[in-house]
């Protein structure tokens, strides 16, 4: 509400500070600059400051800025105030996404959709509050007095001197400020009563998991948001002008078409809250990309067909609604989205919101009788449809290039502890197989030794076993036999050796023992 209320009340703000609208348009630039700066500052602060406390202070600043706007009678003071509101809103935009990811982790998809649905709901409610509830004013307040200067060819339009009481529409700022102040109190209560717990995936040492291509993923996704948000704002800003000047629709029909776009946009975000509980983020993104590409292509092919314009505008609004929150939820599955990462997303989106509409407005003044708005929609849809598969390829587990984080819907089935347990079970199975093979070889060796001892006992010419031969045989037995081997094997070997008569050192018996000793050592 705090962001969207400026447009419907801009004329009254100009009257309130005794300026015309063209000379006061720089407050949009000051607020946008503050928004970008606040996004960068918030990305750093949310990594080192309690998020509840920081969110509460940011909303408190927003509340004071909104409540003080009707009482600003100087243009420079209004500019400073709007810049401060932009900083606080940038911090809140970055921090809201980070706080949801910290709270719900990889299961934050529906909650992110609900957060961004609240943005659309606030943008829908603020014009109603500003114009329907407080927009009525007397006839004398709405009359501008043109005053002629000394030369007849120059006319300077001046607004009447502002009164001590603000215009009725200015009270919308006070109402919105009071609501924001109430919400900030809840954040301070959360800060006092609880501590933020993180459900992010971490290593055993407590560090957060990051993809090996974390930086390139964050950068490319910010470029993705640059074109997505830029085309969204450009379409919503110029569809009225396009339908009125290029298609030659009536003003009320053009306004209805503009309302259709934002209405389907808000409805799509509301429905996405429920779809995100049963669909993966990548599925929602692919559906959005297909919808935007098809609708923008049809708008280019049938640029002057009014029924097609209404149908495809609604489809384009629904398709654009889920992309931003689904993109953040998707990348969270592959790497940890910190405050700095979220600030890069918000800055990319803010730059797209500033650059692409300004570029389109410049081209509309240079090129006539061309559906430039639809060309821009098709180009951005095509570019994002090409860029996202590249992002998916970089993030998908294709070897040791990336670190794949477990999906939130499969956390109960596959996690790091079960993976480590599976590795341990494999190691134990290999050890058991090795022990069984060693037992089989030992049993075979002992059978050979017993058979050879029996043949020596039955021979008439036998000599006593030299001590060194007996010792070597016992050493070979101790090397080859595992700790878990039964004791009867040792007894079986000891009895034939003790009862065996001595024989010469060059006998086959000694050669057999030495060969067995070497084999068992190998």
Cα separation, 134 vs 131, in Å, equals 6
Residue reference for tokens 């297909």: 290
Alpha-carbon radius of gyration of the chain: 39
Q: Which domains does the chain have, with CATH numbers?
A: 1-147+155-195 (1.20.1250.20), 212-405 (1.20.1250.20), 416-521 (no CATH)
Largest CA distance in the chain: 147
Cα separation, 176 vs 133, in Å, equals 13
Please give the residue that has the higher pLDDT: either 370 or 450: 370
Query: Does the pLDDT value for residue 400 go beyond 80?
Result: no
- HEC string of 51-79 equals HHHHHHHHHHHHHHHHHHHHHCCCHHHHH
Averaged over 274-284, what is the pLDDT?
89
Residue reference for tokens 């084999």: 519
Query: Does the pLDDT value for residue 292 go beyond 90?
Result: yes
Cα separation, 492 vs 473, in Å, equals 13
Cα separation, 356 vs 139, in Å, equals 39
Would the CA dihedral through 447, 449, 452, 453 be positive or negative? Answer: negative
Q: Is 146 helix (H, G, I), strand (E, B) or coil?
A: strand
Residue pLDDT, tens place only, 425-455: 444 455 555 556 555 555 555 555 555 555 5
Sort 382 into a burial class: Cβ within 10 Å, 0-12 / 13-18 / 19+: middle
Residue reference for tokens 């509301």: 270
Averaged over 473-477, what is the pLDDT?
47
Q: How far is residue 481 CA from its own chain's centroid?
A: 57
Cα separation, 268 vs 138, in Å, equals 39
Residue reference for tokens 């060693």: 438
What's the mean per-residue pLDDT of the chain? 74
Q: What is the DSSP letter of 129?
A: I
Averaged over 213-217, what is the pLDDT?
85
Query: Does the pLDDT value for residue 130 go beyond 90?
Result: no
The total number of residues shown for the chain amounts to 522
pLDDT given for residue 494 in this prediction: 43
Contact 89, 2 (CB under 8 A): yes
Cα separation, 56 vs 185, in Å, equals 7
Cα separation, 157 vs 20, in Å, equals 8
Q: Which residues of 256-281 are buried (b: 16+ CB within 10 A; e: fewer)?
A: ebbebbbbbbbbbbeebbebbeeebb
Contact 129, 175 (CB under 8 A): yes
pLDDT given for residue 248 in this prediction: 86
Please give the residue that has the higher pLDDT: either 40 or 124: 40
Averaged over 269-285, what is the pLDDT?
90
Cα separation, 73 vs 175, in Å, equals 19
Residue reference for tokens 């609004």: 317
pTM: 0.63
Element (H, E) at 157: strand 155-158
Q: How far is residue 168 CA from its own chain's centroid?
A: 41
Q: What are phi and psi of 485, to 5 degrees?
A: -70, 145
pLDDT given for residue 146 in this prediction: 40
């Amino acid at each position: 509400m705090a962001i969207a209320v400026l447009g419907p009340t801009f004329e009254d703000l100009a009257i309130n500070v005794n300026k015309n609208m063209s000379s006061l348009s720089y407050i949009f630039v000051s607020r946008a600059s503050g928004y970008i700066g606040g996004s960068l500052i918030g990305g750093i602060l949310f990594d080192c400051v309690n998020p509840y406390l920081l969110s509460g202070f940011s909303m408190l600043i927003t509340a004071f800025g909104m409540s003080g706007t009707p009482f600003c009678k100087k243009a420079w003071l209004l500019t400073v105030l709007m810049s401060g509101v932009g900083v606080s809103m940038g911090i809140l935009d970055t921090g809201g996404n980070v706080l949801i990811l910290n709270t719900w982790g990889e299961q934050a998809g529906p909650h992110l959709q609900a957060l961004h649905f609240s943005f659309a709901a606030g943008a829908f409610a603020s014009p109603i509050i500003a114009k329907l509830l407080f927009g009525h004013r007397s006839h004398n307040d709405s009359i501008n007095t043109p005053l002629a200067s000394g030369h007849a060819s120059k006319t300077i339009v001046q607004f009447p001197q502002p009164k001590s009481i603000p215009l009725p529409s200015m009270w919308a700022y006070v109402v919105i400020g009071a609501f924001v102040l109430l919400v900030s109190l809840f954040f301070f209560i959360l800060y006092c009563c609880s501590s933020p717990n993180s459900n992010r995936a971490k290593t055993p040492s407590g560090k957060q998991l990051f993809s090996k291509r974390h930086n390139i993923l964050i950068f490319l996704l910010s470029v993705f948001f640059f074109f997505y948000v830029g085309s969204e704002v450009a379409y919503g800003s110029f569809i009225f002008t396009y339908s009125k000047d290029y298609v030659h629709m009536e003003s009320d029909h053009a306004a209805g078409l503009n309302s259709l776009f934002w209405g389907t946009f808000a409805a799509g975000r509301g429905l996405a809250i429920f779809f995100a509980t049963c669909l993966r983020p990548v599925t929602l993104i692919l559906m959005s990309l297909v919808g935007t590409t098809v609708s923008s292509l049809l708008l280019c092919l049938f640029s002057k067909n009014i029924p097609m314009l209404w149908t495809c505008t609604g489809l384009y609004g629904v398709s654009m609604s889920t992309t931003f929150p689904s993109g953040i939820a998707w990348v969270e599955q592959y790497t940890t989205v910190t405050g700095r990462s979220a600030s890069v997303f918000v800055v990319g989106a803010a730059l797209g919101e500033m650059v692409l509409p300004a570029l389109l407005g410049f081209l509309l003044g240079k090129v006539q009788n061309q559906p430039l708005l639809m060309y821009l929609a098709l180009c951005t849809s095509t570019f994002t449809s090409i860029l996202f598969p590249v992002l998916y390829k970089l993030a998908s587990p294709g070897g040791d290039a990336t670190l794949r984080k477990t999906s939130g819907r499969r956390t109960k089935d596959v996690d790091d502890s079960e993976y480590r347990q599976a590795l341990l079970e494999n190691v134990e199975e290999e050890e058991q197989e090795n022990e069984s093979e060693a037992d089989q070889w030992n049993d075979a060796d002992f059978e050979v030794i017993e058979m050879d001892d029996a043949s020596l006992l039955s021979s008439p010419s036998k000599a006593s076993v030299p001590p060194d031969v007996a010792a070597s045989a016992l050493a070979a037995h101790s090397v080859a036999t595992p700790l878990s081997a039964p004791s009867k094997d040792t007894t079986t070997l000891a009895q034939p050796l003790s009862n065996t008569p001595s024989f010469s050192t060059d006998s086959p018996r000694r050669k057999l023992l030495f060969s067995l000793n070497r084999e068992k050592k190998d």
